A and B are shown apart, each in its own frame.
Chain A
Amino acid sequence: MNAPDPVARLRVLAAGLRAPLYAEATLGLPFDQVWAVIADLEGELPHLVSFVREFRVPPGDSEHKTAQAVDVLGLRGPFDVRLSPGWCLMQSRLVTMGVAAAPDGPGTRLAVCGAARPAALGPVQRVYRRLLGGRRTRAFFREVERRAALR
């Protein structure tokens, strides 16, 4: 097991980050179809995460990129992005977000993780928890599935 599957890997990171948000779900669509939605960060992320209004990603196939996010509070900031099949880790000065996926039979196991950076102030952590609570994660999974089904 030198390369744990991405979902197991994200579970470990969530434990390390003491992430207030971590959830998994199995979607009834094939991996490639689901991952196409996640990998299209610029086109899809604003649909999937309610507080991200705009996410600009430089073009190209590089696995490491710096994207620009604009959230509903108007905060603008660079996000470092690591993207590869089944794995997406994004980090700004304030927050970390991870999405991982692995084929699960005919469907796809999808996991999402969100955490505030420890350097950030307490209130940010609380706001983030509210923005990405349990209801939001279920909405996230539903929306990924809905948008993947359209592809």
Chain B
Amino acid sequence: MDEDVRPWDVAAPLVRAAQRGDAFAMDDLLKLVTPYVTRLCTPIAPADTADAVQESLVAVFRGLRGLRDPQAVYGWVRAVTVREAVRVARRTAGETPAAPEEIARLQDLLPGVGGGELSAEVRDLLVRLPVQHRTVLVLRELEGLDERTTAELLGVPEGTVKSRLNRARSSFRKAWTR
């Protein structure tokens, strides 16, 4: 961002328009604050930066209409982001990995791996997935739980389950085809 332009001067008119329901202004504001939110989330939630950023942005934009002083937008974004990032970082510490025998059944997801035995490659690939990705894959794909139940079980919002599942499926497939 240009040093001569105070960021809130750029943001304030966007905040006002976004508060009136202008989706384009909201989109511009989103682009403007995302690097700042990311910078805050990275050290607070290093293991879950993407989740922390996403949940912070959702909280910021959900609460935007209640912001009385658009000039105060950056301080307010910072407060909301830190609160959300801390919540995300703490949550991760309480999670437990899926049991190995459950992970073993994930081989059904993979094309060309049959039989009851988990091949060494699949095991290796799963171990390399982050714990939370393994967990959502197991709950959703093997236990057949829906996203809401998975979210309740893990104590995370449904949106997080969705995004983790997307990333887990994608990295699982990518790792397999590599």
Contact = CB atoms under 8 A, between A and B. Distances in A.
A13 interface: yes
Interface in A66-102: 80, 82, 89, 91, 96, 98
B118 interface: no
Contact of A2 (B35, B170, B174): B35
Contact of A104 (B21, B23, B53, B169): B169
The residue among A11, A13, A91 with the most chain B CB atoms within 10 A of its own CB is: A13
Q: Decide if the interface of chain B is mainly helix, strand, loop or mixed.
A: helix
Interface in A8-57: 8-9, 11-13, 15-18, 24
Contact of A8 (B64, B163, B169, B174): B163
Contacts of B20: 118-119
Nearest to B35: A2
Interface in B127-171: 159, 162-163, 166, 169-170
Most buried by B among A1, A96, A109, A119: A1
Interface stretch (B55-63, B76-84, B100-108): B55-63
A135 to B, nearest CB: 18
A12 B38 contact: no
Interface in A87-146: 89, 91, 96, 98, 104-106, 109, 115, 117-119
A60 interface: no
A58 B173 CA distance: 40
B30 A9 contact: yes
A96 to B, nearest CB: 4
Given A8-B54, A16-B64, A89 B27 contact: yes
Given A1-B34, A1-B50, A4-B34, A15 B24 contact: no
B26 interface: yes
Nearest to A111: B162
A69 B127 CA distance: 52
Nearest to A97: B23
A106 B173 CA distance: 9
Interface of B: 18, 20-24, 26-27, 30, 34-35, 38, 49-50, 53-54, 57-58, 61-62, 64, 159, 162-163, 166, 169-170, 173-174
Given A3-B34, A17-B21, A89-B27, 16 more contacts: A1-B50, A1-B53, A2-B34, A4-B34, A4-B57, A7-B166, A8-B163, A9-B27, A11-B58, A12-B61, A15-B58, A16-B30, A16-B61, A91-B22, A104-B170, A105-B173
